[in-house]
Amino acid sequence: ASADGEAAALRRELRELRGAKDARIDELQQELVEVLKELEEKEEEVDRLRADENRASFTRRGTGDTDSLDTDTAKLLERLDRAEEDVEQQRATALRSKETLKERELEVEQLKVELAEERIKNDSLQMELEKAEQAQQRAVEERKRAEKIAAKAHEEQRDHRHDRTSLLSEQQQLREEKAALQTQLEAERTTQEEMLELLDDLNNDKDQLVTANADLERELEEMREELQEATRDRDELRTKVHEESEVAEEHDSRQRAVEDQLRSRIGALETEVREARAETTSLEGKLATLKEQSGVGQLERDLETTRVAAQRNESERDDMERRLEQALGDLEAMAEALDAANEATEERVYSMVAQERVDYQKTVKKVEHLEKRLKEEIGRREETEKAKARVDSELLEAQTQVIDLATEKGMMEVVKGQMVLKKRLLKAEEEHEKLIEKYSELRDDRDILVETCRRLKQEAGRAEDFWYPEMEIREAIASALASMKAKIIEQEKQIEHLEAEQHRLLKALRDNAAVIGEKGIKFTGLEPAQLLQVNEFAANLRDGKVLLPLDDQSRLLQEKVVALEQKLETERRVAGE
């Protein structure tokens, strides 16, 4: 009876555990449904934001307020980016929830398998207990029959005393066996509790494995950083001076690029100025036609002053353009001088000819002279800008009168076009100013780098005309970079191999959990590695490949072959670079 009560209690505990697992699965499914709903809401919000962006682009085509529309578009794009990030996060959360649900289902399946095994053991123990009770009942009946026989035949009592003693000993033995079976049942119950605790430990071990995996990835990243830092420390003293000179050369290349941009921008500005002049001429012709048609002589006398101011402004503009062309010529001469200086520097690196250094000094003086002239031109240009500002104020008053006249004569569109051209011209001039400022900043940076390189040479005890061989330095840098890339590629391949192995193990565990649970008796006594070999052989058979699983030695040989192939590929890549 006590064994039945304990078995019933065990069944209740198992039912409670199964109910808790089912409740947990329901909770995870509910969370997954909620996450999917949030994901759908985020996707609807993304669609709504895209629709707002499309409406904003349509409104931008219909209106002229580009600044506010650009701001609204930027805000919409920012909101769209945030919404897409939220959608990606929700998708990641949904995937994690699905993975967690799958893991819980696997745990439930494993628990079911273990509970089935425990149920089988419990049934076997119950059967043994029933057999023991039946044996005890038979012993009691035998004892009763023996007592009846003893009552009837006191004469044979002495003969049967030995039999009674043996029966008592057998009864005592059966009692001991019953106690042993009860003890075994308690041990099985304890084992079942230990298995439940083992399930909890497995969950904890899984979390620890995830944490350990993250720690390994972090350690791998730290090892990569340490490797990079060691490489940088190794090459720092050797390449410091060259880096400064290389930065100077890069600065020179950027300076040449900026000069090319300046030339192209100045050409574009000149084109825009010519177009503005042509459009201004066209507008003046239209205005003259309008005057001839209107016959307003007084208005022509009023606009004569404006025309004189415009001609004066045109002459000043031509003067400014001539000065700008002169400055452009000086800038081109300076660029040619800089190119000549760079060529002289390269020749000095390879030939170490003293005469080239003298030419370089002359070139530097010429550059300084050109920079001085450029500053003078900038000062004169500022004076011209001030005069131009005065003329612009007068021209603005004249334009006001022209606008009033155009309003009366129905030529507002022409005046608006002229104002747009004026704004474009002002914007082009502002961009030209910014380019000049940027060129000045780049020139100052180059001077700082040259001075830094000179001081580093002094600190290192090198001559003023000392330069490292450029080809050797470039080859050393290329070799170090190639070696570093090869090591990184090799480590990435190793990581991919480990991840593939982990994925294969997890897939085998997911695919064969139910099969092992149903046919666990067939795999009794097999170790995990042996089970993996069985699964691998079965997968090969399903694919039509009669390939035996790899043992430790064959797997080690295969890994060595893969490592040699990777090393050979790395050497080929380094040789190719």
Higher-confidence position of 171 and 118: 118
- Token pair in block for residue 100: 């967690």
| pLDDT greater than 60 at residue 199 | no
User: Residue 455 in 3-state DSSP?
Assistant: helix
Higher pLDDT, 450 or 217: 450
Angle, CA of 516, 521 and 526, to the nearest 5° = 75
What pLDDT score was predicted for residue 478? Answer: 75
- Can you give the pLDDT at residue 510? 61
Quote the CA–CA distance of 517 and 119 in Å, as a whole number: 14
CB distance 130 to 3 below 8 Å: no
pLDDT category of residue 262 using cuts at 50, 70 and 90: low
Max mean pLDDT range (227-241, 287-301, 385-399, 502-516): 385-399
Residue 321 pLDDT > 60: yes
Residues 6+ apart with CB under 8 A from 133: 178
CA separation for the pair 193, 171 (Å, rounded) = 33
Question: What pLDDT score does 241 carry?
Answer: 47
- pLDDT classification of 333: cutoffs 50, 70, 90: low
Average pLDDT, the chain: 65
**End-to-end alpha carbon distance in the chain:** 84
pLDDT at residue 419 is higher than 60: yes
pTM of the complete model beyond 0.95: no
pLDDT average, residue stretch 286-291:
58
Is 70 exceeded by the pLDDT of residue 252? no
At 109, the pLDDT band (50, 70, 90 cuts) reads confident
Least confident of 332-341, 457-466, 502-511: 332-341
pLDDT at 534 > cutoff 60 = yes
d(CA 150, CA 53) in angstroms, rounded, equals 109
CB 351 within 8 A of CB 282: no
The arithmetic mean of pLDDT across residues 208-219, rounded, is 60
Cα gap 267→301, rounded to integer Å: 37
Q: If pLDDT is split at 50, 70 and 90, which confidence band does 521 have?
A: very low
Tell me, what's the pLDDT at 64? Answer: 46
214: left (phi over 0), alpha (psi -120 to 50) or beta: alpha
Over 50: is that where the pLDDT of 339 sits? yes
506 against 569, higher pLDDT: 569
